[in-house]
Amino acid sequence: MPTETLTVQLAERSYPIHFSDVAERLKVDISNLRASGRTVRVISDARVLEAHPEYLSQVGFEDDEILSLPAGEATKSIEFFSQALSHLAGTAANRDCALFAFGGGVIGDLAGYVAASYLRGIDFYQIPSTLLSMVDSSVGGKTGINLPEGKNLVGAFWQPKAVYIDTALLQTLSPREFAAGMAEVIKYGMLADLELFNDLIALKGLDVNSPELPAIVRRCCAIKAQIVADDEKETAASGGRALLNLGHTFAHAIENAAGYGQYLHGEAVGIGLSLATQLSVALEQMPASNIALTDKVLHQFQLPTRLNEPLKSSDLMAAMQRDKKNRRGRLRFVTMTALGSAVTTDGIDVALIEQLWCKAGAE
């Protein structure tokens, strides 16, 4: 029987990830916050609130404590960051306020950065509603917003106090959004868990009702929790937390060049994982046969491995130059020495990256 609670080990800032009886646990925790004299607020998006109209009230939130924002990547912006801060100030939230994020990765990243910034930092809690946010973005304390120049260029490390993973919320998730979440699941197998990767190939598919899903979600959270505990703020000279960005240097460039929202984050990651595998092969770090294996599992879970329509290679390369992982002006990628084993690699020839973009459909 998988554990019902997993702890992210960060000394005095350690926190639990809850996997069972989540709504009941959330209700108790909110009641305890109120009993101790604290106020609570929620940031969500309109689509999640429409899909789960009773969820927040059933666990103890009042309507006037909830800020609803538009769904989509464009909400991770200075405009909505400012709006959320003004909402807290306008409702007289003070330093003992506990801020809850109810939604996917966009809302979690935005609300976390709001919490890190408001009154120089207030507590926040994650209630992820998408597969992608459950297995990845809700855990680890990376918060932030996008700029027109690039994704996640503004943000802070600000760990949540708890994460509540209620897989019942996935029942209303669209097949496209579910597939996008699977890109991060596949990523974990490729960077750290060959057994998980092979299990995914054997499954041939997965949906919200699959009996294997809860254990897979926990497995991904466990991998991330360990990596975050070892290198919380991505300061390791090599490897470390940066490995969680496998495929993401390519993915973030796609999202930026295509315009935020054209691709779901997980769709861009799918293409990025294919390109990261091709790059690893081109660098002679792993055998060429792994390209077909990677593309096979991505296609099994309805993820793209090429651009839907051409993007300018120059735009993609310019976006890459602004990537946060770069060091001393040189591109830095996460590559693999084998499926299930990732490394950070510096000093890659720009011409090689341009060739890979052309193979993926760039012009």
Catalytic positions:
120, 142, 184, 224, 234, 241, 245, 248, 252, 265
- As a whole number of angstroms, the distance between CA 273 and CA 275 comes to 5
Question: Would you give the distance in Å from CA 129 to the centre of its chain?
Answer: 12
Amino acid (1-letter code) at residue 325: K
Q: What are phi and psi of 343, to 5 degrees?
A: -140, 160
Token pair recorded at residue 165: 């993973």
Closest CA to 337 of 296, 276, 295: 276
- As a whole number of angstroms, the distance between CA 360 and CA 18 comes to 39
Per-residue DSSP letter, 324: T
Amino acid (1-letter code) at residue 275: L
- As a whole number of angstroms, the distance between CA 204 and CA 270 comes to 16
Q: What are phi and psi of 273, to 5 degrees?
A: -65, -40
**Which ranges of 36-77 would DSSP assign to H, the alpha helix?**
46-51, 55-59
Q: What are phi and psi of 329, to 5 degrees?
A: 75, 10
- As a whole number of angstroms, the distance between CA 181 and CA 19 comes to 17
